[in-house]
Chains A and B, each alone.
Chain A
Amino acid sequence: MTIVNMKVRHGPLARREAWEGRLYVLPWVIGFVLFTIGPMLASVYFSFTEYSVLSGAKWLGLENYTDIFTKDRLFRLSLINTFYFVVLSVPINLLASFLVALLLSVNLRGINFYRTLYYLPVITPAVASSLTWSLLFSGDFGLVNAVLRGLGLPTFNWLYDPQITKLVFVVMNLWGIGGSMIIFLAGLKNVPLSLYEAAHIDGASTWQRFYHITVPMMTPLVFFNLILGIIGTFQVFTGAYIITAGGPANSTLFYVLYLYNNAFKFFKMGYASALAWILFVIILAFTVVQLRMARLWVYYEAER
């Protein structure tokens, strides 16, 4: 029916509908031009200049980029720090949020209460939770060390030992699983029961049903959360800004923090724009690789 209707759409009604449609999406189109495409183009230009808000732009050509790649030790360090964080945190968080979502998908009395509780860390303001973390991990008498000492285990100077600060951030990031957990949960609830029913009748075991139904049906969401996780984790900022300010010994100087310092502390807007484009290309490369690999493991139902 719909297809037939689509084919014969020439009348004044269809024209009117089309204009209305354009009008409805117009605010987004304007916003896209003003706040996405426009700034992106401006950012390309800035990245080839020396620019601070106070003075005008001075054309530099490729100098920002060559400086970044050849002279900037902190660029390399912040990139390594960020890779370290992304490579550890993204898979750990993905796995944890999937497992927790599995637990929460079971229909038991009071399960909605637990779903809400598990989401609570996400609603806590990042500033408040960052301050709390710095209290929990503080040197001598933070709760973490107190518990370790009580158990007779060695304690660490968590936030002042460059060897382990990044691991502390990986651990802290685990408290943010609520967002992807809830997407997995929604997906688990949307798996058609008829699939399980059919498998049950065919005598499939719990594990078989999980492995042959739940897992394939969840792969699009794993992919979705993986992509969003990579993009978000590459841009880690608030925690590092508040808890360690990049220290000690720049061990938590993550990429966006370094970019922020360049742009808003040293007012090197051109240089920071070049940094932003390099990060953009890196994230894009990761995304494209993931999109390619998705064909190998993401299961899509036939198009409807």
Chain B
Amino acid sequence: MQITAKPTLPNRLPVVVPPSRSNRLGATLAQWIATGAFYGLLTLIALILLLPTLWMISTSLKVDGQVFAYPPQILPDPIAWANYPTAIQKFPFWLYLRNSIIVTGISTIGTVLSASLCAFGFARRRFPERELLFGVLLSTMMLPSIITLIPTFVLFTRLGWVNTFLPLTLPAFFGGGAFNIFLLRQFYRTLPYDYDEAAYIDGASSLRVWWAIILPFSKAPLAVITVFTILAAWNDFMGPLIYMNKPEMRTLALGLQFFRDQFVTQWSYLMAASTLTLIPVLILFAAAQRYFMEGILLTGLSGR
């Protein structure tokens, strides 16, 4: 005999809030309250986590006297929109923006391209040294980056690459980082090999299989590493600090620090400049967050 009715499964993970099996009025009410309290807790934590960012934006719109007012002025009144044009005038904002876009753009292209090709090799092509090399790759994920900092700096200095974009962009084309290769390789391995096989029988090259089969299936994990790379490059501080000595080569993240040194007391301008640094990545993240969250939850980011 077949059991047709499956046990009813809760629609949610029964980790925190167990499904109520009783449908009586009291239980329903209790569940309503519990759900409300749960949302309240989520919102409270969100406010705490967002407090610095919100305070940054709020301060950026205050007139000078209000920055240290007591009691603290939560919302700026009047809203000093003029802080933004003033802040932009006080440092070479457009130049730094351009530099940040160049560094971020090139290193992101390098990372995504390089990591997806390397991951393809590790996931879909068999060769004797594969497991050994992949083991080495995994171990480099645990390598503290500080150990290679000084010799790499010496190398790039000797090559005359200080104050060029090369130190911050070129390494991305050599594999794109162990973590990204690892992430993509884990995902590629979950794709059935039948598609590849069919394409190979039809005479396709492996490069074509990568381009026409693997990449279209991998939008979510590619979105994840794209966002990760953009964030890391945009927000990188130590790299530009070491390699960009000339003021005209500074990125926004680095320029902000020098802005601070110059106008240390003018907090509203400083916060306006900080907000301007955040806005591009914020827009990007808002646009990509759907794919990003989906990608993270769907790919084997967990590494299993």
Contacts and interface: CB of A to CB of B under 8 A. Distances in A.
Interface in A93-111: 100, 102-108
A60 interface: no
Interface residues of A, number: 111
Given A108-B12, A276-B150, A25 B303 contact: no
Given A128-B56, A196-B14, A273 B150 contact: yes
B166 interface: no
B1 interface: no
A102 B140 contact: no
Contacts of A32: 136-137, 140, 174-175
Contacts of B51: 136
B275 to A, nearest CB: 7
A40 B70 CA distance: 53
A235 B145 contact: yes
Contacts of A272: 150
A156 interface: no
Contact of B17 (A106, A120, A220, A224): A106
Contacts of B147: 39-40, 43, 276-277, 279-280
A59 interface: no
A133 B275 CA distance: 14
B224 to A, nearest CB: 10
Given A21-B126, A39-B152, A31 B277 contact: no
B62 to A, nearest CB: 11
B127 A283 contact: no
Contacts of B136: 32
Chief secondary structure at chain A's binding surface: helix
Given A108-B12, A125-B234, A127-B237, A24 B275 contact: no
Interface stretch (B22-30, B87-95, B116-124): B116-124
Interface in B43-93: 45-46, 49-53, 55-56, 59, 67-72
Nearest to B289: A116
A123 B137 contact: no
B181 interface: yes
A232 to B, nearest CB: 9
Contact of B154 (A42, A105, A242): A42
B194 to A, nearest CB: 12
B271 interface: yes
Interface of A: 6, 9, 14, 17-25, 27-32, 34-36, 38-40, 42-43, 46, 53, 100, 102-108, 112, 114-118, 120-129, 131-133, 135-136, 138, 140-143, 146-147, 149-150, 175, 182-183, 185-191, 193, 196-197, 200-201, 206, 209-210, 214, 220-221, 224, 227, 231, 234-235, 237-238, 241-242, 256, 259-260, 263-264, 269, 272-273, 276-277, 279-280, 283, 287, 301
Given A114-B42, A273-B150, A276-B149, 8 more contacts: A17-B206, A36-B143, A118-B45, A125-B256, A132-B52, A142-B68, A190-B300, A276-B147
